Amino acid sequence: MADNFQRRDAISNAHVGREFERRAIEAFADAGISLRSDFSVKVGVSDLKKTHKFDLGSEEPPVIVECKSHRWTKGSNVPSAKMTVWNEAMYYFSFAPSQYRKILFVLRDTRATTGETLSQYYIRTYSHLIPHRVEIWEYDEASASVGIVHGK
């Protein structure tokens, strides 16, 4: 049986997030990339840099990952506050060192009314905020498979 990352009986949102990060680590390991949690990188808009913790990352190869297990609302409406969090991830990606591969790893969730996934909606609506060379990967919990929906 597939995991349901935002079950009502989940212990907490943090627990749900950690479980989703664990799935991401497994998916990247299957792709030959070993990642660790709470990966720190110095980011900034000028010579002044400050450490920011990304959900996952690696020095070799240089990769940083933000994980989001968000879903459409019960009424198939846009989870607007969640999209703000995705935009924040894009902001940090834009100021991270260029040598890092930047990946937003998201839960595949399909809108019942249109068949559009949340990541497809994000790309369609917010593409002007997605930095060059940022990839968006979707994790399908039913099949435990990953697809790249934006980027490489």
Q: What is the pLDDT of residue 134?
A: 98
Domain ranges of the chain: 13-150
Closest by CA position to 105, among listed 42, 56, 40? 56
State the chain's maximal CA–CA distance in angstroms: 49
The one-digit pLDDT tens for each residue of the chain (152 residues) are 344 555 445 567 777 889 999 999 999 999 999 999 999 999 999 999 999 999 999 999 999 999 999 999 999 889 999 999 999 999 999 999 999 999 999 999 999 999 999 999 999 999 999 999 999 999 999 999 999 999 98
Q: What is the three-class DSSP state of 65?
A: strand
Q: What is the pLDDT of residue 14?
A: 78
Query: Distances in Å between the alpha carbon of 137 and those of 48, 55, 106, 152?
Result: 31, 14, 6, 10
Token readout for 111 is 């809108």
| Distance in angstroms (rounded) separating the CA atoms of residues 59 and 61 | 5
Instruction: At 103, give phi and psi (nearest 5°).
Output: -135, 130
Q: What is the pLDDT of residue 139?
A: 97
- The domain 13-150: what is its CATH number? 3.40.1350.120
| Distance in angstroms (rounded) separating the CA atoms of residues 59 and 105 | 18
